[in-house]
Amino acid sequence: MRQYADAVSRKIRKDKIDKIKTEEVKETVEKLTKLINEHVPEAEREKEKVTAYVLTQIQSRIAFDDVETGILKLMGDDLSPVKLRPVSEVTNETKVGKKGEVLDKEVRIGNDSDAAYLMYYYYYLLQQQSKAWNQIVDLVAELRFEECEDMADFAEENGEVSSSDYHFDDIRAVVLKAQMRLFAQHVKKLESEEKKPSPEQLRAVKELLRQHGYDKG
């Protein structure tokens, strides 16, 4: 890996990974992998490759690009049948006639006001999902931190720890744990809210106090 020192690699080493395009990172990882296979002993290759993935953040970069593209396509697929977006030029690709009529599919919502409300409602639902996603992310970070603490305790009891001695949980298992912990938090919150008097109950109590002259307000 030290033999490869192009501009991209220098930026990676200087912690300027955010200034590199994903395609450049992909090319760099491919070259690094080739160098590792050619110059690193077989027993150490996997470790060096993992280091290359971590330094370049290639997995999260590719995932970000894939998800961003997928979300934009999903939004287009969901929203365009509700009400078509304006087009600057009518072409075969737009599938829209000269008067704006749809040629290849029916618009699901004919009322423009309804269509506008539904689009804002779509955005509201995305916001709710974003909140839930962020809660899961925070819980995953919390669970990983707990794993690190457990590993530190394990190392303190057993001396030096190798990767074969202690394993972190698969991310899918961690996400499931986070979902269960979030569900438990919601249940606890609901139980707490159920113990609180409702607005109707509070009004009834205030009225009773007022009738008996105890309400000073």
**What are the boundaries of each domain within the chain?**
1-71, 122-217
Q: How many CB atoms lie within 10 A of CB 150?
A: 12
In order of 10, 29, 92, 169, the CA distances from 55 in angstroms are: 11, 10, 46, 22
Say yes or no to pLDDT of 211 above 90: no
Comparing CA positions, the residue from 59, 56, 37 lying closest to residue 46 is 37
In the chain, which residue ranges form alpha helices assigned H by DSSP?
A: 7-13, 22-39, 42-56, 58-79, 112-158, 171-195, 199-211
- 1 pLDDT band, cuts 50/70/90, is very low
**Is 0.95 topped by the overall pTM?**
no
- Report pLDDT digits (tens) over 140-161: 999 999 998 888 877 777 776 6
- Report pLDDT digits (tens) over 67-124: 999 999 999 888 887 875 555 555 555 555 555 555 544 567 778 888 899 999 999 9
- 31 pLDDT band, cuts 50/70/90, is confident
pLDDT at site 90: 52
What does the alpha-carbon distance between residue 91 and residue 103 come to, in Å, rounded to a whole number? 11
